[in-house]
Amino acid sequence: MSHRVYVLVMIQVFLASRTILEIPQIGSSEIADRCRSSEWTQFQGNPGGMAPPEKGSSPLRHALVNCSHKMGSTLLHLFIATLVAMMAFPASGYLLADEVQLKNGHVMRGKILSDDGQQIVLQVPEGKIWIRRSRISSVLRLDPRKTLIEECVRRLERGTPGSAIGFLRREYQHSPHQQEILPLYRKSLLGEVESLLDRGLLERAIVLWNEYCSLPGSHPHNIPLRSRVLAGESLLCQLESTIHNFLESDQPAEAIGHIGTLLDRFPSEGWKWQETLIESKLELGRRLYLSGDLAGAAPLLIEVVVEQPQLLNRTRSAIVHCAAQHHGLSFDAAFELLPDDPTLHLAAAEAAALHGSGFDQSRHLHRVQDLVGEQIQPLLLEQQLIQAASDELAGALPLVVPLERRLAAVSERLWRNWELPASPPASLDLHPYEDLETMRDSLGLPCGPAILISEKQYGRVISETLHLVPDFPFIDQDQLPREMLRLWLPRILGQPRDLPPWLEEGLCVRSRGTLALQRDQLLLARASSLGTLPEISRLITMKVSIEDELFRAACGSLVDMIIEDVPHILLPEFLDQLATDGLEQSLSIVTGTDTLHELQQRWIRRIDSGP
């Protein structure tokens, strides 16, 4: 019930009391007269000398109401005081705060938001946490606002004021106790500014400094931190000027280094410099490749594609050639880009021979013979690949890999990774389109460049068609393997089965190409640093998949963490249990954690630790 409802109830009670009691307005002189008269002694047994009330009559008509003319105003004052108190402290404020003692000895302080008997949701300065009742030793009830303010003070004293700023900011903006909160709010801001400056995080420090300066009672001119903040602002101008000088003098390597320094210190400037950074990396990678420095070119070209997937058409052959010379991608990852390149097959055959794998050596050599014939000229084949890479880097049209061969390569890889029996089906119903706009208009869906559409009748699948734009950049790394695994999911599960959207999407995302998975890691790492990672509780309750890169990356990362230790032979049963019971109901069994909050923290730590 909201505080507005409480107010309405109080108003109704007050009006009803006035109506029912019909409070008489007895004057003070009349009361004095009655007190002096002998009738007062009779009044106690037979009030006012009146006849006793008749049987069945209302006692309120004859009951003594010992009040003066001030009685109505007293009730009114009491009502107004109650009303003001309720307006100042909303209904949510009536929930008691807790000092939660855990069985492991830790103490958590905050305000309970809900308690269903199995777990409680505790409000702390930086957000909400979920705690299972089985892990709680005791709960001490305290005043909620006092508890959270004291927790903010503790955090300031132990050198972590930043985690309390969000709560203090909200309290200052919405609480009637602004003047009480303001000194702690200012101290926390200054403490966090100093901490950020010590860690070299100038941009965030400047933002909080400006917030501090905007508060009443602040005196920024008298604070030693001011000179350090101004030095940070000056540094930004100097870095921008230096970068422009390097770009104008055609020095991409130096420009890349200084852009990196700028973005480390001032991350929000990325919108301004990200495109320039990618262009500089592509140009530097091209120069290094043409000069024969494949070790230096490979990571730059891969970074470019991970940042902007559409640039794969400019870098595909160069990345494959670097891989053939043992730089950058592995052989398997390079085969995802050019499955029939003879130079790559020769390099893989040579590596197989060094590792004593005669079968793999023979397989790759036979593939080269199928591609170029019995006469194999390694130097000529490599020169052809170098020429194709140089042309692509200069902006020429990329090598065209037939769609059938790309589909076959993706199918073989998925079949091998999931350890499925026999061989993948040779045929697949396809519907290619010239471009994405034509495909979307035809299907009437806001879809990506590849989508599997199933037609069902009475719950049975009667046809499945893969709609795609074959020439779309990055499709063989991202959308194509994702939608093809969606087609093979019934074989993996052992039976047709509708999975929750997050679980199905996560499985399909895990089956994409190496560069697509590297892009997922980049997106998740950025979201983690900005605090914008999706909440697991939201992922698992979504009813349909959405066309969002971060959502899909999050689903893939979560599923990968959950099933990483599950043997393939047990995977169908494991996924069936997960789909039937749901993640939250089988949390401790499938993840070893007790709450979604604990799983979220474990997931964040995994992302922050890198691949």
Say what the pTM is: 0.70
What pLDDT, on the 0 to 100 scale, is given for residue 162? 84
Average pLDDT over residues 103-130: 79
Strand partners, 452: 466
pLDDT at residue 52 is higher than 60:
no
pLDDT at residue 72 is higher than 70:
no
- Over the stretch 8-29, which tens digit does the pLDDT of each residue have? 444 443 444 444 334 344 443 4
pLDDT at residue 598 is higher than 90:
no
137/431 Cα distance (integer angstroms): 61
Higher pLDDT, 518 or 56: 518
Q: Are 144 and 96 in contact (CB under 8 A)?
A: yes
pLDDT at residue 312 is higher than 60:
yes
* Whole-number average pLDDT of the chain: 81
Tell me which amino acid residue 398 is: P
Strand partners, 97: 111, 142
**CA–CA–CA angle 538, 543, 546 (5° rounding):** 80
pLDDT at residue 4 is higher than 70:
no
Q: Are 326 and 333 in contact (CB under 8 A)?
A: no
CA atoms within 13 A on the CB side of 19: 6
Q: Where does the pLDDT of residue 37 fall: very low under 50, low under 70, confident under 90, or very high at 90 and above?
A: very low
Of 125, 124, 101, 126, nearest in space to 112 by CA:
124
246/279 Cα distance (integer angstroms): 14
Complete edge-to-edge strand list for the sheet that includes strand 450-457: 430-432, 460-468, 450-457
pLDDT at residue 323 is higher than 60:
yes
What pLDDT, on the 0 to 100 scale, is given for residue 11? 43
pLDDT at residue 573 is higher than 90:
no
pLDDT at residue 342 is higher than 50:
yes
pLDDT at residue 493 is higher than 70:
yes
pLDDT at residue 339 is higher than 90:
yes
What pLDDT, on the 0 to 100 scale, is given for residue 420? 79
What pLDDT, on the 0 to 100 scale, is given for residue 5? 39
Q: Where does the pLDDT of residue 55 fall: very low under 50, low under 70, confident under 90, or very high at 90 and above?
A: very low
Q: Where does the pLDDT of residue 98 fall: very low under 50, low under 70, confident under 90, or very high at 90 and above?
A: low
Domains of the chain in start order, with CATH, are: 3-92 (no CATH), 96-231 (2.30.30.100), 308-393 (no CATH), 497-611 (no CATH)
What pLDDT, on the 0 to 100 scale, is given for residue 97? 54
- Over the stretch 280-299, which tens digit does the pLDDT of each residue have? 999 999 999 999 999 999 99
DSSP annotation of 583: T
What pLDDT, on the 0 to 100 scale, is given for residue 556? 95
Share of the chain above pLDDT 70, in %: 82
What pLDDT, on the 0 to 100 scale, is given for residue 15? 43
Average pLDDT over residues 448-460: 85
Residue entry with tokens 């100038």: 202
pLDDT at residue 101 is higher than 50:
yes
DSSP string, 26-38: --HHHHHHHHHST
Helices and strands per DSSP (H, E), number in the chain: 27, 8
Residues with Cβ within 8 Å of 147's Cβ and at least 6 positions away in sequence, in order, are 97, 98, 99, 109, 110, 111
